[in-house]
Structure 1
Amino acid sequence: MATVVPPLTLGRKLGAGAFGEVFEGQDSVHGRVAVKVMTRASGESAADWHQRKAGLLAEGQRLSAAEHRNVVRVHSISEDAAGDSIQLCMAFCAGGSLQDAYEKGPLPLDTVREIATNVTLGLDALHSRGMLHRDIKPGNLLRNASGVALLGDFGLVTDRLLHGYGSIAGYKDHIAYEVWSTWVTSAKSDIWALGMTLYRLLHGQEWYEAGQSPAATVPAGGYANKLCWLPHIPAGWRRMIRKMLNDDTSRRYQSAQQVLSALSTLETPRWTAKVDTDWVRWELAIGDRLKVVEWSWQSPRKHEWTAWSEPLGTTGRKRTLGGSSAAQARSKTLSELEDFFERA
């Protein structure tokens, strides 16, 4: 039976995905809300839609009980009079999703740690209630008006939907190694997807998409050891994310609480990074000086880098801090840059 909810007025579209469209809305109880409208998928039979619709309505009741400051509040879920669509009414997150930030480039380490801590607390709350997220990615991490990160768009992707619609949902990059063979998700596959999400936020879209496609490489195994890191990412972050992405679920973090413990130990140097198709630039302000590192390339064998410091808001001299002596291979450049950032 459909839930009785206050009448909803839909406004501007906020986004769209394989499982529905999201609109800004108003209702008489909660005021400004976000409304996800889910309809029958292309190619979905009437019987399958009826079954999925019943599951969505039942799951909506469970989601409304998942109250936590780092989980987007679900107010209600209902179907329209004709039975053609489902409306999921949620708290409105004025800060939007982290998809836009990811597309613009790498986020600072301290920002990613704060986001990760917030959403892992939310994930722990879901897991403690016996619930899974199944679709953790930058677009499903939201910020409220205060900038606090929350887990959103959760609970409505079942294992059956993952199997049937994973490709059109753009979800393949976040399918854990074991799910490719079993098509059964778990709390540990949520942790895997969170690890992939953190890697994305640390590197930004330009760098991420230049690397190996997870959908093409994860099923073969060993993906965690094939990650290409921006050289300013400290060793502790790399170890944590590789453990989150371990093929062997017994060697992965066993709970969100363990991820929280790992996050609490991480270093967060305040370098900002910008990535383009053929260069990367880092900056770090320390007092009245600005450290700058630039790495550029013309081909796989022609990479160069240089580092210097310059006055910041004052007069003074530019000081050379390091760099390559000539064009060189990518691997050598990465090694030298990693050494520089470790010492910087």
Structure 2
Amino acid sequence: MNRRLPSTPPTLPGFVFVRALGSGGFADVFCYEQDMPRRVVAVKVLLAELVNDEVRRMFRAEADLMAQLSSHPSILTVYQAGVAADGRPYLVMEYCSSTLAERYRSAPLPISEVLAIGVRISSAVEAAHRQGVLHRDIKPSNILTTAYGHPVLGDFGIAASVVEGEHGAAGVSIPWSAPEVLADDRASVASEVWSLGATVYSLLAGRSPFEVPGGANGSAALIARIEKARLNPTGRADVPERLEQVLARAMSRRPAERQASALELLRDLQAVEEELGLSQTPGDLEVQEWASAPLADPVDPVDRTRLAPAAEPGEAGGRRAESRGARRWVSDGPADASIGVPAPPSRRRLGWGVAAALAMLVGVIAAGAGFWLALGSDDPIPVVADLRADVDGTIVTFAWDDPGIDEREAFLVRVEGQDTPARRETALDVPARAGERLCATVRVTRDGRSGAPSAERCVEVEESGG
């Protein structure tokens, strides 16, 4: 099938068009040179035939979310957004000269590099999920390389999300999509864990997970194999068995059997790094994470970018203990935050260090609490108080009254422990199976902070489906 030609690049004040970079089902990407500050940028422009007032409104809401997410070191930076004179919304983004899609099929990537990429991109996806945002299209071609060689995740499906009411799953990338996404376009945290696993697999194997070298690899053939989810090993002799197991779990046919989050997959990849004797790649998380984490031996109190060890299987996670008992760390600081950390102190010095750290932490928390009280006491985040649930056949509709949200705010609906994308509508339809019990809560998010959740509402779908 021939790809369409890019649309005409818009005239943007302060920018000079250089060349077209690519085209997709919902948008085109162009290279521009910005006048001030002078730099080369990538500009993503929605197609004119998709634009209406509702699309513009939703595009602005998602552009705001992208701007918040792009502060993450492994997410493509968004500089600004706007609407061109011809009415097409656009995003101005960091320019990256290459993607991993240009590398992984031409030559095998070193395992150490693949693991580092997997950890960093998993941390980016985890950060998005904590903001209630699903990427929807995780794959090698959406992992770009900055001028300094760092992998960053781009294309958060803004165009796909704002027009999905009309076009459904038109933007689905079949080779890296979970079975449930291909079956009924049900994206979730679990489906994104699948796509992360499929992406890491591809970087190792030089092909997508269910692609058969020399065989039939059209859409129908791939979908049939993905629905069965019978994953073969990567075929590389240097890939350890533990990594094969991590990827097989991420691409389990049943979502409940996969890692519960991108963060859990990140920790599994870090454990493989440790098993191989590699330096663990830090996974960047929100700064608030370490402030609430306990200081636990043997953490060096000088290195406060480290969280306490991930709960070992058999503890809070309820899984069987691993024989190696590996400690898996997640860093919320810069990549070089652990450089120059002194040797572990004696127990006496450790005790004084912990006491000092706790004292400092109490002071920081107290100051921060006072700041937020002073800043936000007159403008509390609204709380949903009237969540309802109705059943129509096998469709459960959760609905609620608007408590008075403004243009900065949106609703986050959590169904069965998983957040759906942020929305401003006051209802959500959830497909269910006969005999299934669904529970949900709703909370309001504003500028990356969430208010208190509503009371949980549960409903059962009758066995007859009526």
Normalised by the length of structure 1, the TM-score is 0.66
Partner AA of 1:39 in structure 2 = L
Aligned to 2:251: 245
Q: Does 1:86 align with 2:89?
A: yes
Partner AA of 1:14 in structure 2 = L
Q: Does 1:76 align with 2:80?
A: yes
Contact 1:159 1:183 in 2 (8 A): no
Post-superposition shift, 1:88?
1.1
Contact 2:174 2:222 in 1 (8 A): no
Contact 2:44 2:91 in 1 (8 A): yes
Normalised by the length of structure 2, the TM-score is 0.50
Post-superposition shift, 1:223?
4.0
Give the Cα separation in 1 of the matches to 2:193 and 2:162: 16
Aligned to 2:198: 196
Q: Deviations over 1:141-167 (max 9, x none)?
A: 011122111111114132963983645
Contact 2:178 2:226 in 1 (8 A): no
Give the Cα separation in 1 of the matches to 2:198 and 2:165: 17
Give the Cα separation in 2 of the matches to 1:209 and 1:78: 43
- Report SS of the residue matched to 2:68: coil
Give the Cα separation in 2 of the matches to 1:116 and 1:189: 16
Aligned to 2:47: 39
Q: Does 1:230 align with 2:238?
A: no
C-alpha spacing 1:62/1:226, structure 2 compared with 1 (3 Å): closer
Higher-helix-fraction structure:
1
RCO comparison, higher one (Cα < 8 Å, 6+): 1
Q: Does 1:184 align with 2:186?
A: yes
- Any stretches of 5+ residues in structure 2 without a counterpart? 1-11, 279-466
- Any stretches of 5+ residues in structure 1 without a counterpart? 271-344
Partner AA of 2:187 in structure 1 = T
Give the Cα separation in 2 of the matches to 1:123 and 1:6: 33
- Report SS of the residue matched to 1:247: coil
Matches within 5 A, 1:1-344: 7-27=14-34, 28-29=36-37, 31-40=39-48, 49-66=52-69, 67-83=71-87, 85-94=88-97, 96-156=98-158, 157-158=160-161, 161=164, 164=167, 166=169, 169=171, 171-205=173-207, 208=211, 210=213, 213=217, 216-218=221-223, 223-232=228-237, 233-266=239-272
Seq. identity, % = 28
RMSD: 3.0
Post-superposition shift, 1:37?
1.8
C-alpha spacing 1:121/1:209, structure 2 compared with 1 (3 Å): same
Post-superposition shift, 1:219?
5.8
Post-superposition shift, 1:259?
0.8
C-alpha spacing 1:205/1:256, structure 2 compared with 1 (3 Å): closer
Give the Cα separation in 2 of the matches to 1:32 and 1:193: 30
Higher deviation after alignment, 144-153 or 174-183: 174-183
Count of aligned positions: 258
Post-superposition shift, 1:137?
0.8
Contact 2:55 2:163 in 1 (8 A): no
Give the Cα separation in 2 of the matches to 1:18 and 1:221: 23
- Report SS of the residue matched to 2:247: helix
Give the Cα separation in 2 of the matches to 1:234 and 1:119: 21
Post-superposition shift, 1:205?
3.9
- Report SS of the residue matched to 2:271: coil
Higher-strand-fraction structure:
1
Partner AA of 2:60 in structure 1 = L
- Report SS of the residue matched to 1:250: helix
Give the Cα separation in 2 of the matches to 1:118 and 1:128: 16
Contact 2:137 2:172 in 1 (8 A): no
Partner AA of 2:27 in structure 1 = G
Give the Cα separation in 2 of the matches to 1:52 and 1:159: 6
Give the Cα separation in 1 of the matches to 2:181 and 2:172: 15
Q: Deviations over 1:215-243 (max 9, x none)?
A: 64556766442335314132112111111
Q: Deviations over 1:10-51 (max 9, x none)?
A: 21222332222222222224732211122145xx6x7xx553
Aligned to 1:338: none
